[in-house]
Amino acid sequence: MTLRGRLTAAFLAVVLGPVLLGAVFVGTTLAAVDRSRSTERLGLAASTVRTSVDALCQQLRAAADAVALRTDPAARAGAATQVVSRGLAGAVLVTDVAGTTTYATPGAPPTPWQDCSGDRTVAGPVRALSARVDLRDPAGVALGTVAAAQVVDPAFVARLAAATGVAVTLLDGPAAPDRVTHTTESNRVREAVLAAASTVDGDRVTETPDGRYVRRLGPSPGQPLPLVLSVPGEQPAGLPAVLVGAVLLAAVLAVLAAWRLARVTTRPLVELAGAVDRVARGDLTARVPVRSRDEIGRLAGAFNRMTRETASYVAALTSSRDQLRGHLAVLGDTLASTHDLQRILRVILHSALAATGARAGAVLLLDPDGVLVGQCAEGLDDRVPDAEPLRVPLGTGVIGAVAATGEPQRGRVEPAEAPAGEPRCETYVAVPFAAPGGAEPAGREPAVGVLALYDRLGGEEFDDDDLATLRTFAGHAAVAVENVRVHEEAQRLSLTDPLTGLWNYRYLRESLRREVERASRFGRMLSILALDVDRFKRVNDTYGHTAGDVVLAEFARRIRGEIREVDLAFRQGGEEFVVLLPETDARGAAIVAERLGAAVRDTPIVVDEHVAITVTVSIGIAVYPDHASTGQQVLDAADEALYAAKAAGRDGYRVTGLRPDAVTEEIPVPAGAVSPDDELPRAGPAATRAAEGSSRQAAAVPAPTAGVTQPATGGASSGPHPPRQSRGR
């Protein structure tokens, strides 16, 4: 072949090779990107479906629990009707131990219902999704089950589709992938979607002939519904024809150019063409020998420099991409798996240091005193004066100014201008972060914290890219701080009574179990006081429920003021309260009971400037292990003693009788508002806490009795004990 032929062929290879490769690359890349995006959308939709179904199941389980707590059938039916009327469930079904339906709310869908646990699969179409709980009497005997259900209808499927952003199809069952119960797909694509769904299982995604992507979801634990998710592809129509036309046009132009240039081009062009072809195939080590100083030689030199720089850029981009992916993966896993603020902030700081190349850094949070306190730091051991913990007042120095103004700062620090109390450095960058969702514009209120980095590797100053990167990590820190605070507040609210601020009945059960276990393990005593405000119904009837709330709140405040820090006070329900006294015998409990009675009786409760109400309290006392062997039994024993105090005329306390197997000498403790005859300290303002402390922490003494003839054992359940109904006042 002649030189012209060789140059023409080389030119065509150089030109058409990249064009063809580019066309194939564009086509395959767009297809891959389309599939990747669709797969990601289906993955997010699947996660959303699982989350939605799990949230619905939790709601249904809570509704079933609310019905199961009622012991009376009529009250249970009323609770079921209330649950349905409030929209917590679509229907409630109560069955006995034999599986016979004893009550069902009107309009309940036909059974069987698909259970949320996924243990049992309904044969045929799914009519309802249900959560089932056991129904037991106060003694723990099984009475049957309570099931709360949500109707699965086209509206339910439509809500799932709206929440996920994809089309949702509910199948008749996992064994019937070609039969549809409900769907949001159009009739035009329904058959193609079902045909594609029947060929896949698990989390795999398949494509229909018309360019839609399909994924099956469930049934599985936590998501028992057999669903099919589908989404249309985003690849432009007619793309193959456009690519073919571009390739053909490029081929024609290449032939014409090759015929013209072949006459004036020499061998170096062939070498250049070969090198370009290697680069087009991904080999960035290709080089062209420079044989002359003419245009071809300069072109060869420029090509060699281009490939070297490209290889460096690709290597740097690959390393940066992999590093960033790793940091984001670790950060995402940490944010999703823990509420440990210190751990989250350490991961954010480490990721920010690695992403920007900084040598040192710190995360500071604003405390209630207006001081930024370092929560975690790295590389500051030799930068902070005297190795003291990092503390910067708001508005002072670089960090304080960033927090006060809400504006990030970066720059270089001269040795003579280094802010006092801040780390020594040459360059710095500091970014504030505030709680997400704030109503005030950025910069008008102090930030909740600051993320600061110091001395970039290589000595260069931090640039705008570093600032943008740091803003991202500061945003994660703000979300982490807010999530932890919301989590802690939710935990507090779930365990406290909103009216009185005391612990609620749920925490009483947990605390009683824990304190009984501790007393049993260490051989100590635990006293329980059951308190009831006397004639509280008369207060409500006379002064109104608002005044009753004031009385209960003030009563709770006086309880807190008369007990130790280690003691626990609870509102059990209505006007009934419980106090746990760890390491306290009956004598010490009697001291506390007398002082509580005096604290309530001696000072009227002021409702407003015209109304002051005087109330009294009746108290029942029981001691573990003298009066009962379990936490629930000792609580029931205290309740019986409370009944005895009520029967004895109120405004006093009673101690329950000893267990039949306890060998002690009974010491009578008379009831009333005065001190007993056994030299116990008198309650009231003159009572000394020293006497209480010595008595409550002394060795266990025989428990006094006050007329409770029945022992506090037998018939007491160790299971959940709902709040008792208010007794007559």
Provide the pLDDT for residue 177.
64
Dihedral sign computed on CA atoms, order 499, 505, 510, 512: positive
Whether residue 179 is predicted with pLDDT greater than 80 in this model: the reply is no
Give Cα 672 to chain centroid, integer Å.
51
Provide the pLDDT for residue 321.
65
Provide the pLDDT for residue 388.
67
Provide the pLDDT for residue 654.
94
Instruction: Give 134-154 pLDDT, tens digit per residue.
Output: 888 888 888 889 989 988 888
Based on the fold, state whether residues 563 and 595 are members of the same structural domain.
yes
Whether residue 192 is predicted with pLDDT greater than 70 in this model: the reply is yes
Given a contact cutoff of 8 angstroms between Cβ atoms, the answer to whether 478 and 432 are in contact is: no
* Structural domain contains residue 386: yes
* Structural domain contains residue 367: yes
Provide the pLDDT for residue 593.
95
Based on the fold, state whether residues 559 and 466 are members of the same structural domain.
no
Whether residue 118 is predicted with pLDDT greater than 90 in this model: the reply is no
Instruction: Give 351-360 pLDDT, tens digit per residue.
Output: 888 888 888 9
Enumerate the H helices of 69-179 as residue ranges.
73-85, 154-164
Provide the pLDDT for residue 3.
53
SS3 track for 680-697: CCCCCCCCCHHHHHHHHC
Based on the fold, state whether residues 548 and 478 are members of the same structural domain.
no
Given a contact cutoff of 8 angstroms between Cβ atoms, the answer to whether 705 and 644 are in contact is: no
Last residue of a domain, one of 184, 217, 246: 246
- Read off the pLDDT band of 587 (50, 70, 90): very high
Instruction: Give 215-258 pLDDT, tens digit per residue.
Output: 888 787 777 888 888 888 877 666 677 777 877 887 888 777 77
- Read off the pLDDT band of 688 (50, 70, 90): very low
Structure tokens at 634: 């000792």
Whether residue 578 is predicted with pLDDT greater than 60 in this model: the reply is yes
Strand spans (E) along 542-595: 568-573, 576-582
Higher pLDDT, 221 or 646: 646
Domain carrying residue 531 = 505-696
Residue 726 to residues 21, 299, 535, 549: CA-CA distances in angstroms? 84, 97, 10, 15
Given a contact cutoff of 8 angstroms between Cβ atoms, the answer to whether 148 and 60 are in contact is: yes
Q: What does the alpha-carbon distance between residue 445 and residue 115 come to, in Å, rounded to a whole number?
A: 50
Q: What does the alpha-carbon distance between residue 554 and residue 594 come to, in Å, rounded to a whole number?
A: 18
Length of the chain: 729
DSSP code, position 417: G
Structure tokens at 368: 């209630």
Provide the pLDDT for residue 370.
84
- Read off the pLDDT band of 685 (50, 70, 90): very low
> Which CATH number do you get for residue 608?
3.30.70.270
| Number of Cα atoms under 13 Å in the Cβ half of residue 267 | 4
Instruction: Give 436-468 pLDDT, tens digit per residue.
Output: 654 444 445 568 889 999 888 777 888 888 888
Q: What does the alpha-carbon distance between residue 566 and residue 570 come to, in Å, rounded to a whole number?
A: 13
Average pLDDT over residues 39-59: 88
- Read off the pLDDT band of 605 (50, 70, 90): very high
* Structural domain contains residue 19: no
- Read off the pLDDT band of 541 (50, 70, 90): very high
Higher pLDDT, 218 or 206: 206
Based on the fold, state whether residues 157 and 44 are members of the same structural domain.
yes
Given a contact cutoff of 8 angstroms between Cβ atoms, the answer to whether 229 and 164 are in contact is: yes
- Read off the pLDDT band of 416 (50, 70, 90): low
Provide the pLDDT for residue 222.
72
Average pLDDT over residues 552-559: 94
Instruction: Give 478-533 pLDDT, tens digit per residue.
Output: 787 777 777 777 777 778 888 888 988 888 999 999 999 999 999 999 999 999 99
DSSP-derived 3-state class of residue 656? coil
- Read off the pLDDT band of 643 (50, 70, 90): very high
Based on the fold, state whether residues 565 and 470 are members of the same structural domain.
no
Average pLDDT over residues 312-334: 71
Last residue of a domain, one of 246, 273, 301: 246
β-pairing, 91-96 vs 142-151, is antiparallel
Instruction: Give 517-530 pLDDT, tens digit per residue.
Output: 999 999 999 999 99
CB atoms within 10 A of CB 226: 25
| Catalytic-role residue among 575, 576, 583, 594 | 575
Whether residue 700 is predicted with pLDDT greater than 50 in this model: the reply is no
Provide the pLDDT for residue 704.
38
* Structural domain contains residue 321: no
Based on the fold, state whether residues 348 and 463 are members of the same structural domain.
yes
- Read off the pLDDT band of 267 (50, 70, 90): low
Whether residue 2 is predicted with pLDDT greater than 70 in this model: the reply is no
> Which CATH number do you get for residue 404?
3.30.450.40
Give Cα 81 to chain centroid, integer Å.
31
Whether residue 717 is predicted with pLDDT greater than 60 in this model: the reply is no
Provide the pLDDT for residue 545.
92
Whether residue 186 is predicted with pLDDT greater than 50 in this model: the reply is yes
Provide the pLDDT for residue 329.
66
Whether residue 470 is predicted with pLDDT greater than 80 in this model: the reply is yes
DSSP-derived 3-state class of residue 540? helix
Based on the fold, state whether residues 575 and 625 are members of the same structural domain.
yes
* Structural domain contains residue 159: yes
Instruction: Find the range with the poorest average confidence among 193-207, 361-375, 583-597.
Output: 193-207
Based on the fold, state whether residues 615 and 479 are members of the same structural domain.
no
Which amino acid does the sequence have at 394?
L
* Structural domain contains residue 451: yes
- Our CA dihedral for 381, 383, 385, 387, rounded to 10 degrees, sits at -10
Based on the fold, state whether residues 479 and 525 are members of the same structural domain.
no
- DSSP assignment of 232-284 equals E--PPTTHHHHHHHHHHHHHHHHHHHHHHHTTT--HHHHHHHHHHHHHHTT-T
* Structural domain contains residue 109: yes
Average pLDDT over residues 287-294: 80
Higher pLDDT, 589 or 202: 589
Based on the fold, state whether residues 478 and 522 are members of the same structural domain.
no
- Maximum separation of any 2 CA atoms in the chain, in Å: 130
Provide the pLDDT for residue 617.
95
Instruction: Find the range with the poorest average confidence among 46-55, 64-73, 168-177.
Output: 168-177
Based on the fold, state whether residues 411 and 521 are members of the same structural domain.
no
- What's the pTM? 0.37
Whether residue 286 is predicted with pLDDT greater than 80 in this model: the reply is yes
Instruction: Find the range with the poorest average confidence among 171-175, 516-520, 547-551, 692-696.
Output: 692-696
Q: Is 207 a catalytic residue?
A: no
- Our CA dihedral for 254, 260, 263, 266, rounded to 10 degrees, sits at -40
Whether residue 611 is predicted with pLDDT greater than 60 in this model: the reply is yes
* Structural domain contains residue 20: no
Given a contact cutoff of 8 angstroms between Cβ atoms, the answer to whether 277 and 266 are in contact is: no
Number of domains in the chain: 3
Mean pLDDT of the chain: 79
From the list 360, 340, 509, 518, the residue with the least C-alpha distance to 427 is: 360
Last residue of a domain, one of 221, 246, 271: 246
Provide the pLDDT for residue 690.
34
Based on the fold, state whether residues 479 and 514 are members of the same structural domain.
no
When mean pLDDT is compared over 21-25, 82-86, 707-711, the highest value belongs to: 82-86
Whether residue 557 is predicted with pLDDT greater than 90 in this model: the reply is yes
